[in-house]
Structure formats: structure tokens, C-alpha cells
């Protein structure tokens, strides 16, 4: 499976790209310019050696070539980036990790912006109605992605309206050691998932840590509450 990390040259994007390279997937690191994307590929190879399953492309070309897309851009860049990949994203699962944090407009990273669409993921779906948008990766810290020798001690909460798309991305995400996917339902749940991010950031700041995450427990018990 070819995985494109759109806007994949920041810390989160490079961490996700590297983890999927290690998992054996074909990874395309996308950026606004080919030169910046190639710098991301060079960084992955610096960490993992001269691996052959990673390449660079502009965001539009990466979207056209890949089977599954992952968006890792700041909120301020979300709309323009989505519009640039509109053709390539049509009909494909697009996992959006955009965090609508107040820090995007100079405020606090421990507070969430209220978007007209309800969430950043719903905004992505409105911009790209032909893509199969899934809210994902919002609650896994950038630091965890880059701890390549360790399994990630965090669940990946996802939501989306297309069941088939979620069925495609779930086993892909779970190729990253330590991660368990928790399907939270329809895309409207993204507003809840995204609001957990500033809570975790605040907890990390308070505890002088960078690894705070979330685990959902008890779902495998199959009990019915009365």
C-alpha cells in the first residue's frame, strides 16, 4: 500500500512517515516543494539508513500516486493544502490529523478553536467532498512518533462516515507497534476527539512530560451495562 504523508516535513509528519517506512509500507513524503519533500526523505534515511521504500513528491503528486493519504499540516495551511490535492484525493481515505488549536492564531495550545464546520476533520470533508475523510492521529504526541525503538503507548481514536475507508486504515495504523485503533463512530465525533488534544498538551506541560496519551479500556469485555 502506498501511503502519502501530505505536509510530511514537520515533526509529526516525519515521525509518522518514518514509522510506516519501518513497518514496510511504501511512503511518499509530500510538501509544497519537491526540494522540501526531499529534505524530509533525507532525514528519514539519516534515521533508518538508505531505505528504498520512501520517496519525495509535491503534495499534489503524492496524493495522486498514493492509496491512502495522511494530512499533517497546521490549521492555517489546511484549506490551501487540501485544495492542492483535491484531484488526487478523490475516492481515497484521507486521515486528517489537523489540530484546531488557539496557538494557530497566537493563542494557547491548551485551548481549542470552535470551527463553523464543527471540527477540522469536518472542515476537510467539506472542502474535499469526494475524499473519504477520517479524523486520526490527533492524540498521539509528536515525541512518541520519533521514539523509533519503543512501541507507542497510546490508542489512536478515529472517526469517519465511510466504514470501508476505516476498515482499510485500521490495520495500516496498527502496524505501528503499540497502537490500538478505537473507532469512535461518525465524523461528527471529530469535534470531541480533537478537543482531547489541548487537554493532553496541558497535562504534558503540567507534568513536564512529552509522552502523555490516552488509552480506552474495557471495550473487549463485551459487558452490557444495566
User: Is 65 among the domain residues?
Assistant: yes
With 70 as the cut, is the pLDDT of residue 218 above it? Answer: yes
User: Is 198 among the domain residues?
Assistant: yes
CA neighbor of 140 nearest in space, from 91, 173, 106: 173
* pLDDT at 223 (0 to 100): 56
The mean pLDDT of 150-154, rounded to a whole number, is 94
More confident residue, 198 or 189: 189
Helix axes 190-206, 120-127, angle to 10 degrees: 140
With 60 as the cut, is the pLDDT of residue 75 above it? Answer: yes
* pLDDT at 103 (0 to 100): 73
Alpha carbon distance 130, 21 (integer Å): 28
Q: How confident is the model at residue 173 (pLDDT cuts 50, 70, 90)?
A: very high
More confident residue, 116 or 21: 21
CA neighbor of 41 nearest in space, from 68, 71, 62: 62
Lowest mean pLDDT among 19-23, 37-41, 107-111, 200-204: 107-111
CATH code of 196's domain: 3.40.50.720
Q: What is the pLDDT of residues 6-61, one digit of tens each?
A: 999 999 999 999 999 999 999 999 999 999 999 999 999 999 999 999 999 999 99
The mean pLDDT of 190-197, rounded to a whole number, is 93
User: Is 200 among the domain residues?
Assistant: yes
Provide the grid cell at 109.
Answer: 495550545
Q: Domain range spanning residue 180?
A: 2-221
User: Is 194 among the domain residues?
Assistant: yes
* pLDDT at 226 (0 to 100): 46
* pLDDT at 102 (0 to 100): 67
Q: What's the pTM?
A: 0.92
Q: How many domains, the chain? A: 1
User: Is 226 among the domain residues?
Assistant: no
Q: Within a 13 Å sphere around the CA of 175, how many CA atoms are in the beta-carbon half? A: 17
Q: What is the pLDDT of residues 163-172, one digit of tens each?
A: 999 999 999 9
Q: What is the mean pLDDT of the chain?
A: 92
Amino acid at each position: 500500500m502506498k501511503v502519502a504523508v501530505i505536509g510530511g516535513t514537520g515533526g509529526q509528519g516525519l515521525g509518522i512517515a518514518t514509522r510506516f517506512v519501518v513497518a514496510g509500507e511504501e511512503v511518499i513524503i509530500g510538501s509544497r516543494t519537491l526540494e522540501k519533500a526531499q529534505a524530509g526523505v533525507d532525514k528519514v534515511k539519516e534515521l533508518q539508513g538508505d531505505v528504498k521504500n520512501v520517496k519525495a513528491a509535491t503534495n499534489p503528486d503524492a496524493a495522486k500516486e498514493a492509496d491512502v493519504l495522511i494530512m499533517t499540516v497546521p490549521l492555517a495551511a489546511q484549506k490551501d493544502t487540501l485544495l492542492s490535492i483535491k484531484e488526487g484525493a478523490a475516492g481515497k481515505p484521507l486521515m486528517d490529523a489537523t489540530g484546531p488549536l488557539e496557538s494557530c492564531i497566537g493563542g494557547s495550545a491548551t485551548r481549542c478553536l470552535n470551527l463553523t464546520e464543527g471540527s477540522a476533520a469536518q472542515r476537510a470533508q467539506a472542502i474535499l467532498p469526494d475524499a473519504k475523510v477520517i479524523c486520526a492521529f490527533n492524540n498521539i504526541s509528536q515525541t512518541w512518533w520519533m521514539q523509533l525503538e519503543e512501541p507507542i503507548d497510546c490508542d489512536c481514536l478515529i472517526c469517519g462516515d465511510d466504514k470501508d475507508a476505516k476498515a482499510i486504515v485500521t490495520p495500516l495504523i496498527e502496524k505501528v507497534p503499540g497502537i490500538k485503533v478505537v473507532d469512535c463512530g461518525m465524523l461528527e465525533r471529530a469535534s470531541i476527539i480533537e478537543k482531547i488534544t489541548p487537554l493532553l498538551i496541558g497535562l504534558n506541560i503540567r507534568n513536564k512530560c512529552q509522552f502523555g496519551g490516552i488509552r480506552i479500556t474495557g471495550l473487549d469485555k463485551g459487558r452490557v451495562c444495566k
